[in-house]
């Protein structure tokens, strides 16, 4: 079973590599390439795990051209629902009670089915309408099995095509694997829902459907049912809701520090009372205090059209890796800003500007961190939703008006308060210990002959020593293998020693075998290190 699955995955990867080689030999232009379509079809044939893999890969605007992204976004969860009897059994196993004790009514026919889970309507004993999200049986095992195989194939491809290392494919696979496992754990989604509900408690324009207490587990999630109109419906108050949406995201980015990462039209709707409702918290992004501060500075630099400031903020944010050619990057950012200067304010796109700056560093062996990938996706979708709600909405005007508030939010955050508290504590402790520290320093100076005693500490020498040790071992291994190849070739040439298989020198064959084994170990060690 596992061997057959591995063969299917390997055959799919080999087919794509073969097609890429043919197109390269023929000189096929990028706009005429069939590779994006072939990749999508291959992922669909490999099943749910690879469909989710492709959907997650479609977020990587920092890595893939628009034609590839457009094709990957066509991936759909065309998965048949699993039987209602299995769904009932999964609920009973996860919650530890019969379905009849948990719900007053439970619909065995699912209202929606996807690769990770399917959703059923239900009603609690007190009459409240809820939805029940049930994980597909065996999906966790399938994810781990398929991603293990993908990692193995990725390592083999890096050995055959080491130039691909600049894109850090194994790191990307590991990130996607980790996030697929999070998405398959509904306890994580329940915590996210609760955090959003707490963050927006008291906001009159927003609604976050709550999780039902004690009715969620790793494989089952029960949540309040909500419904309403789509954000493109003509009867809603679009301009008001656009302001609600951008206020909510500024609060998420700069005050809360985590955000809904998938605000596409299917996950946003307007309730009958006019509130904007968020749905599906499987994909969320996190921004620590330093990242929030860097993002606020980046936005300030963008609205003030300061290229040098944008470059510094982009490096701090993680969009660009150092070292960089500063004058060249400033010229690139100035070109981006000049393009926007020719557009009306309503057509300015912060998401597009973030992407274009990130792509300036595409040749620097650097990949944008996953939290910023989710951020870029959220920015694109938010801007699209804003234009759906109000085609004349000027994002830049709102950023200009709220710039000061954003910085205040960053400085008022819990991290900033904690930093000031630590500073006061450390200063008090230092003041208490300072006399003794000075006395010790003077005593040592007197003991050393009266001169000042300066101590220098060099950090990182242990890792450097280990790196040099590994490098030396690999060089020695390579020299030994080379010597064996030469010696075996001489033995083969002179037919020295005993023979096997007719006329083949035994010692030469042994030398070749040992040299090949050492070469394999060397290649495997280099592949595992990720550095050639």
> Would you name the residues annotated as active-site residues?
262
Distances (CA, A) of 169 to 43, 175, 399: 17, 10, 35
**Whole-angstrom distance, CA of residue 406 vs CA of residue 393:** 19
Long-range pairs of 60-65 with CB within 8 A, sequence gap ≥ 24: 60/172, 60/373, 61/355, 61/358, 61/373, 61/376, 61/377, 61/380, 62/355, 62/358, 62/359, 62/362, 62/367, 62/368, 62/373, 62/376, 63/167, 63/172, 63/367, 65/30
Distances (CA, A) of 252 to 192, 195, 256, 257, 266: 12, 11, 5, 6, 20
The closest alpha carbon to 261, from 342, 182, 358, belongs to: 182
Would you say 254 and 295 are in contact if contact means Cβ atoms under 8 Å apart?
Answer: yes
**Whole-angstrom distance, CA of residue 397 vs CA of residue 401:** 6
Would you say 310 and 302 are in contact if contact means Cβ atoms under 8 Å apart?
Answer: yes
Distances (CA, A) of 38 to 42, 155, 169: 6, 22, 19
Assign 3-class secondary structure to 163-184.
HHHHHCHHHHHHHHHHHHHHHC
Phi, psi of 297 (to 5 degrees): -65, -40
The contacts of residue 214 (CB under 8 Å, 6+ apart) are none
Q: What angle do CA 160, 164, 167 make, to 5 degrees?
A: 155
Would you say 293 and 410 are in contact if contact means Cβ atoms under 8 Å apart?
Answer: yes
Assign 3-class secondary structure to 391-429.
CCCCHHHHHHHHHHHHHHHHHHCHHHHHHHHHHHHHHHH
Compute the chain's Rg from CA coordinates.
29
Identify how many contiguous H helices and E strands the chain contains and give both numbers: 19, 14
Would you say 231 and 385 are in contact if contact means Cβ atoms under 8 Å apart?
Answer: yes
């Amino acid at each position: 079973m596992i061997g057959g699955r591995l063969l299917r995955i390997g055959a799919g990867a080999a087919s794509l590599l073969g097609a890429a080689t043919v197109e390269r030999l023929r000189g096929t232009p990028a706009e005429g390439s069939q590779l994006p379509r072939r990749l999508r079809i291959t992922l669909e044939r490999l099943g749910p795990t690879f469909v989710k893999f492709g959907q997650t890969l479609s977020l990587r605007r920092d890595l893939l051209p628009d034609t590839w992204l457009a094709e990957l976004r066509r991936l759909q969860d065309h998965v048949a629902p699993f039987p209602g009897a299995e769904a009932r059994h999964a609920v009973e196993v996860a919650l530890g009670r019969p379905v009849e004790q948990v719900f007053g009514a439970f619909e065995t026919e699912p209202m929606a089915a996807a690769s990770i889970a399917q959703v059923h309507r239900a009603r609690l004993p007190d009459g409240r309408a809820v939805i029940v999200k049930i994980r597909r049986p065996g999906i966790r095992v399938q994810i781990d099995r398929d991603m293990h195989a993908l990692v193995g194939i990725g390592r083999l491809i890096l050995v055959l095509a080491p130039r691909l290392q600049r894109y850090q494919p194994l790191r990307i696979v590991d990130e996607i694997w980790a996030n697929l496992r999070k998405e398959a754990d509904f306890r994580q989604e329940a915590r996210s829902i609760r955090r959003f509900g707490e963050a927006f408690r008291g906001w009159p324009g927003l609604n976050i459907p709550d999780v039902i207490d004690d009715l969620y587990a790793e494989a089952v999630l029960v949540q309040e049912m909500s419904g309403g109109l789509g954000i493109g419906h003509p009867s809603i108050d679009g301009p008001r809701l656009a302001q609600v949406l951008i206020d909510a995201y500024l609060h998420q980015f700069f005050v809360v520090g985590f955000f809904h990462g998938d605000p596409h039209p299917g996950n946003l709707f307007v309730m009958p009372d006019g509130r904007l409702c968020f749905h599906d918290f499987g994909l969320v992004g996190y921004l620590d205090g330093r990242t929030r501060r860097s993002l606020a500075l980046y936005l300030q630099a963008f609205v003030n059209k300061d290229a040098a400031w944008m470059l510094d903020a982009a490096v701090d944010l993680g969009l660009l890796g150092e070292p960089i050619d500063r004058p060249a990057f400033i010229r690139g950012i100035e070109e981006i800003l000049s393009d926007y200067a020719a557009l009306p304010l309503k057509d300015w796109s912060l998401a597009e500007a973030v992407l274009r700056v990130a792509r300036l560093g595409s040749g620097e062996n650097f990949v944008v961190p996953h939290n910023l990938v989710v951020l870029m996706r959220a920015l694109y979708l938010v801007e699209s939703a804003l234009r759906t709600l109000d085609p004349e909405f000027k994002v830049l005007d709102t950023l200009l008006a709220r710039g000061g508030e954003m910085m205040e939010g960053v400085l008022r955050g819990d991290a900033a308060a904690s930093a000031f508290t630590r500073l006061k504590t450390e200063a008090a402790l230092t003041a208490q210990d300072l006399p003794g520290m000075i006395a010790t320093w003077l005593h040592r100076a007197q003991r050393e002959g009266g001169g000042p005693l300066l101590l220098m500490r060099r950090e990182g020498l242990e890792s450097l020593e280990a790196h040099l040790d590994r490098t030396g071992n690999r060089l020695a291994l390579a020299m030994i293998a080379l010597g064996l190849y030469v010696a075996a070739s001489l033995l083969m040439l002179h037919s020295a020693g005993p023979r096997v298989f007719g006329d083949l020198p035994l010692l030469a064959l042994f030398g070749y075998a040992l040299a090949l084994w050492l070469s394999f170990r060397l290649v495997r060690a280099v592949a595992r290190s990720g550095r050639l």
